[in-house]
Amino acid sequence: MQLRATVRRGARLGVLIGAWPAGITGGLCLVTAFVFLVGGHDGTAWALTSAAAFAVLGSMAVGVTLGTVTGLALALAPRGLLTRVPLRGLLAALTAGLPVAALSVAALTGDGYALASYPPSIHVLTWSAILTIALVAAARSGDIADCGADH
């Protein structure tokens, strides 16, 4: 029962992790689609609407998956590790941050591109998002693992 509750709390964190990018990218795509629709560019508006749906669904799926995996990692971790706040936070941060970093690098280096092909602004946005996800997971690790008042 403890395993299931911890994974459930992790999935709840994943909804939080996925909701922010889903709302921002989905909202921007829909506003832009409306502008194109008013301008008479129906094809572009529908393409942007599809992109908004893909962004929302993809972001939520990735967020819930990250949260669930983080909850599972914390549920399976030894109790001695969970009672040490820095170690518990590091475990949660690595569990949530490393897959996003790998996914980002894979997405940016596809089709013959290298990371050096992108301007610094892309790197700042990408690595800031990864760091934010990792820090949120670390900060919420005590709640996910249900470690009482030590978080």
Model confidence pLDDT, tens digit, residues 85-135: 999 999 999 999 999 999 999 988 988 888 888 999 999 999 999 999 999
Element (H, E) at 5: helix 2-38
Listed residue (36, 60, 40, 38) closest to 48, CA to CA? 36
pLDDT at position 112, please?
A: 83
pLDDT of residue 115: 87
Share of the chain above pLDDT 90, in %: 75
What average pLDDT does this structure show over 43-49? Answer: 92
Cα–Cα separations (whole angstroms), residue 78 to 27, 81, 84, 147: 41, 5, 11, 12
Per-domain residue ranges for the chain?
A: 2-150
Residue with tokens 């599809």: 50
pLDDT tops 50 at residue 151: no
Question: Taking the complete model, does pTM exceed 0.95, yes or no?
Answer: no
pLDDT value at 147 more than 90 = no
Taking a C-beta distance cutoff of 8 angstroms, is the pair 5, 72 a contact? no
Taking all residues of the chain, what is their mean pLDDT, rounded to a whole number? 90
Ranges 59-63, 75-79, 110-114: which has the least confidence: 110-114
Share of the chain above pLDDT 70, in %: 97
